[in-house]
Amino acid sequence: MNKNLAQEKKYKKIITVLSIIIPLAVAALFGVNLQKLGFDVEPLRFLPPIYASVNGLTAIVLIAAVIAIKKGNRKLHERLNTLAIFCSLLFLVMYVAYHMTSDSTKFGDLNFDGITSDLEVAKLGMVLYLYRFILVTHIVLSIVVIPFVLTTYIRAKLTDFPAHKKIAKITFPLWLYVAVTGVIVYIMISPYYVQ
């Protein structure tokens, strides 16, 4: 068996495990509110604009990585993609920390009572459906993109550049969409954050 194929097979198991564990861990931790469990923690309400900015930075870094490789600068491309992975992990940690210390914000909750009433929904109109579409696609693709990112990265590390390039053509638009829609979701929901 080709050495790269054997190594990729080994990494494939790790990628599969991580692709299952990460979303499950996030979902489990998302449902944990430390304050409601009796822990004396301050809500980390300052985090949403920071993690939204990290999403924006991820998008910029991904575009810069593509530009770097198109110019033949493989080393810069590699460093930028490593930075993009780091940014995505940083986002994830801050996102989970925020939700473990703060109540979820309801889109359209004009009176900040934690409930989006029928009247508030009526005032939102089609914007509510647009928000929900962007949010749902953002969440689903943020799960779907995990094995793509890890596989793309590993193929480059194993110097299987033809296979890397092939999957990168799928990974890049998915990852970029997740990063950009993360910023859009924040911008849309930010008026409803309790300060």
CATH code (residue 183): 1.20.120.80
- Residue bearing the bigger pLDDT, 118 or 181: 181
Per-residue pLDDT tens digits for 12-62:
999 999 999 999 998 888 788 887 788 888 888 899 999 999 999 999 999
Per-residue pLDDT tens digits for 146-156:
999 999 999 99
Classify residue 49: in a domain, yes or no.
yes
Classify residue 166: in a domain, yes or no.
yes
Q: What is the mean pLDDT of the chain?
A: 92
Classify residue 95: in a domain, yes or no.
yes
Classify residue 34: in a domain, yes or no.
no
Q: State the SS3 of the chain.
A: CCHHHHHHHHHHHHHHHHHHHHHHHHHHHHCCCCCCCCCCCCCCCCHHHHHHHHHHHHHHHHHHHHHHHHCCCHHHHHHHHHHHHHHHHHHHHHHHHHHHHCCCCCCCCCCCCCCCCHHHHHHHCHHHHHHHHHHHHHHHHHHHHHHHHHHHHHHHHCCCHHHHHHHHHHHHHHHHHHHHHHHHHHHHHHHHCCC
Domains held by the chain: number: 1
Does 2 have pLDDT greater than 80? no
Classify residue 7: in a domain, yes or no.
no
Classify residue 1: in a domain, yes or no.
no
Classify residue 112: in a domain, yes or no.
yes
| Domain enclosing residue 78, as ranges | 44-192
Classify residue 149: in a domain, yes or no.
yes
